[in-house]
Amino acid sequence: MAWDFETDPEFQDKLDWMDEFVRDEIEPLRFVLGSPYDLSCPNRQKLIPPLQEEVKKRQLWACHLGPDLGGQGYGQVKLALMNEILGRSPHAPIVFGCQAPDSGNAEILAHYGTDEQKARFLQPLLDNQIVSAYSMTEPHGGSDPKVFKTSAVLDGDEWVINGEKWFSSNARYASFLIVMVVTDPQAPPYNKMSMFLVPKETPGVKIVRNVGVGTGTEEGSHGYVRYTDVRIPKDHLLGQRGQGFVVAQTRLGGGRIHHAMRTIAKVRTAFDQMCERVLSRETQGELLAQKQLVQEKIADSWTQIEQFRLFVLQTAWKIDKYKDYRMVRKDISAVKTVMPKVYLDVFSRALMIHGSLGVSNEMPYSAGVIDSFHMALADGPTEVHKVTVARQLLREYAGTDDLFPTTHLPKLRQAAYDKYAGVLEQEVAAL
Ligand SMILES: Cc1cc2nc3c(=O)[nH]c(=O)nc-3n(C[C@H](O)[C@H](O)[C@H](O)COP(=O)(O)OP(=O)(O)OC[C@H]3O[C@@H](n4cnc5c(N)ncnc54)[C@H](O)[C@@H]3O)c2cc1C
């Protein structure tokens, strides 16, 4: 029997070290630093690189990658257990060298990049000397990439890119953007697009706005990017011409499941806070913990988190087993649809249990509620992933020409009578 829900002691030691390191050294950073991606911030550069060195010494750097790329090749199950800790802090993934979107961008550079592209873009990215952005969604449509209009035409030895992209996260901090562009408008829909590596300093790349998430008015980190006559050398094509969709899928599978792993950390933290609060706050002469409607919130949250965690771990295990995201597409899409629901449900309950304090900006719940919609949208909206799940599932079934279902009870009853007719007749005869 190979079913086992235990972590081997050697790896558990690493997780225990991580747990303490993240709590003591990384979680406080959110209160003193801005974006972990802002390499131009002197305080960030003073505080984060020494922590990264410590992680490298412990052989926990870039664990999403194989040893050929400087990672540990631990596989997705171990990465899931690590991300359950890293998700507690926005600064933790970058300290461990596995932050989105750089992790996904590194994955496609490793997979499709030429030697020159790897030397120029991949290596400094893996070393966190630079950060990157992924520029796919357009202002007029994101869920359906077939409507994208940003185009590139070949002019001599250069591609000339024109168009606009929306919500290119971290574009303001990035040294380069990976941009999905129409190169072959006459080709079938899934062969129209190609992927390009665009250095941000290239003339014609302009960040129109840095869009933020939620209600604040301060500048955010999701770039509304305009590309005007952006000329890049021919060899900045990533993968083959017309292969844009294939390249995109290679990065999105991993990205989605890694978000789910980190979401476990977030909902567990909110759950712990909720439990502390109900055991601390009294109303009408008893603790909140003694109210049955509050107990329901605790029980439902724990159950949802455990279900979700098992689903994530089983999907991670399947990725390790098949080593092919296409074989696990349905599972990843299903996890992606569950993730925002668990996140929203647990954070909404935590918010309610904390009352006015819960809705205030002195606790993390209102930000978490909004962030659950980030998880519902980024890498494709929930509805589209539900369609993927249903389509894949239905491929395993066939309809019937019969007027009634094949499992219609009268039909099954008749079949059972026919099967045991001999025995039943003997019983009747024996009466
Ligand atoms: C925080 C955040 C970070 C992001 N980072 C990036 C990034 O780095 N790079 C990047 O390229 N993009 C990024 N995105 C964009 C993201 O990929 C898109 O938001 C997403 O693909 C949806 O596209 P849209 O926003 O244009 O919504 P639309 O395509 O306009 O869809 C709007 C809504 O319509 C519904 N809908 C859509 N299709 C269907 C369907 N088939 N059936 C039923 N209902 C449907 C859904 O409710 C959907 O939310 C990010 C988004 C967020 C929120």
Q: What is the pLDDT of residues 347-375, one digit of tens each?
A: 999 999 999 999 999 999 999 999 999 99
Number of neighbours of residue 195 by Cβ within 10 angstroms = 28
SS3 track for the chain: CCCCCCCCHHHHHHHHHHHHHHHHHHHHHHHCCCCCCCCCCHHHHHHHHHHHHHHHHCCCCCCCCCHHHCCCCCCHHHHHHHHHHHCCCCCHHHHCCCCCCHHHHHHHHHHHCCHHHHHHHHHHHHCCCCCEEEECCECCECCCHHHCCCEEEEECCEEEEEEEEEEEECCCCCCEEEEEEECCCCCCHHHCEEEEEEECCCCCEEEEEEECCCCCCCCCCEEEEEEEEEEEEHHHEECCCCCHHHHHHHHHHHHHHHHHHHHHHHHHHHHHHHHHHHCCCEECCEEHHHCHHHHHHHHHHHHHHHHHHHHHHHHHHHHHHHCCHHHHHHHHHHHHHHHHHHHHHHHHHHHHHCHHHHHCCCCCHHHHHHHHHHHHHCCCCHHHHHHHHHHHHHCCCCCCCCCCCCCCHHHHHHHHHHHCHHHHHHHHHHC
Domain 132-242 is classified in which CATH homologous superfamily? Butyryl-CoA Dehydrogenase, subunit A, domain 2 (2.40.110.10)
> Best mutation site among 137, 245, 256, 333 for ligand 1, i.e. most ligand atoms within 8 A of its Cβ?
137
What pLDDT shows up at residue 216? 83
Regions of the chain where pLDDT drops below 50: none
Residue that is written with structure tokens 């520029």 in the block:
135
CA 346, CA 273: separation in Å to the nearest integer? Answer: 11
- CA 142 to ligand 1 center in whole angstroms: 5
Q: Which two tokens stand for residue 130?
A: 């630079």
Instruction: Report domain extents, the chain.
Output: 9-99, 132-242, 251-394, 399-431
Ligand 1 atom 11 nearest Cα? 136
What pLDDT shows up at residue 1? 75
Ligand 1 atom 52 nearest Cα? 378
- CA 218 to ligand 1 center in whole angstroms: 22
What pLDDT shows up at residue 197? 98
- CA 45 to ligand 1 center in whole angstroms: 33
Ligand 1 atom 19 nearest Cα? 377
Calculate the dihedral angle through the C-alpha atoms of 255, 257, 258, 262, rounding to the nearest 10 degrees: 140
Tell which CATH classification among 1.10.357.10, 3.40.50.150, 1.10.645.10, 1.20.140.10 matches the domain 251-394: 1.20.140.10
Q: What is the pLDDT of residues 57-108, one digit of tens each?
A: 999 999 988 888 878 889 999 999 999 999 999 999 999 999 999 999 999 9
CA 109, CA 102: separation in Å to the nearest integer? Answer: 10
- CA 161 to ligand 1 center in whole angstroms: 23
> Best mutation site among 195, 377, 383, 386 for ligand 1, i.e. most ligand atoms within 8 A of its Cβ?
377
What pLDDT shows up at residue 24? 98
What pLDDT shows up at residue 217? 84
> Best mutation site among 131, 143, 169 for ligand 1, i.e. most ligand atoms within 8 A of its Cβ?
143
CA 210, CA 219: separation in Å to the nearest integer? Answer: 6
Q: Of all atoms in ligand 1, which is nearest to the CA of residue 140?
A: 26
CA 431, CA 76: separation in Å to the nearest integer? Answer: 65
Ligand 1 atom 13 nearest Cα? 167
pTM of the model: 0.95
Q: Taking CB atoms and a 6 Å cutoff, what residues make up the pocket around ligand 1?
A: 101, 134-137, 141-143, 167-169, 213, 222, 374, 377-381, 383-384, 387
Ligand 1 atom 23 nearest Cα? 142
What pLDDT shows up at residue 9? 96
What pLDDT shows up at residue 72? 87
- CA 203 to ligand 1 center in whole angstroms: 28
- CA 344 to ligand 1 center in whole angstroms: 18
- CA 383 to ligand 1 center in whole angstroms: 10
Ligand 1 atom 25 nearest Cα? 142
What pLDDT shows up at residue 276? 98
Ligand 1 atom 7 nearest Cα? 168
